[in-house]
């Protein structure tokens, strides 16, 4: 069985959206600090 390849595929699929989510959070924090906009 190719369970290892399947697990690696799942890790990549789950890691990619998580990485994008982290980048968006960092971008929002940087934007809020640089612009100093009252909001969230």
pLDDT in tens, 21-39: 999 999 988 888 776 655 5
Task: State the residue range of the domain holding 6.
Answer: 1-33
| Domain annotation covers residue 39 | no
Encode pLDDT of 2-26 as tens digits.
889 988 988 888 888 888 999 999 9
Nearest-angstrom CA–CA distance, 1 and 6: 9
Nearest-angstrom CA–CA distance, 14 and 11: 5
| Domain annotation covers residue 26 | yes
As for how many domains the chain has, the answer is: 1
Which pLDDT belongs to residue 35? 66
| Domain annotation covers residue 40 | no
């Amino acid at each position: 069985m190719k369970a290892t390849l399947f697990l690696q595929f799942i890790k990549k699929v789950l890691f990619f959206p998580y990485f994008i989510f982290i980048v968006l959070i960092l971008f929002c924090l940087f934007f809020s600090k640089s612009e100093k906009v009252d909001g969230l």
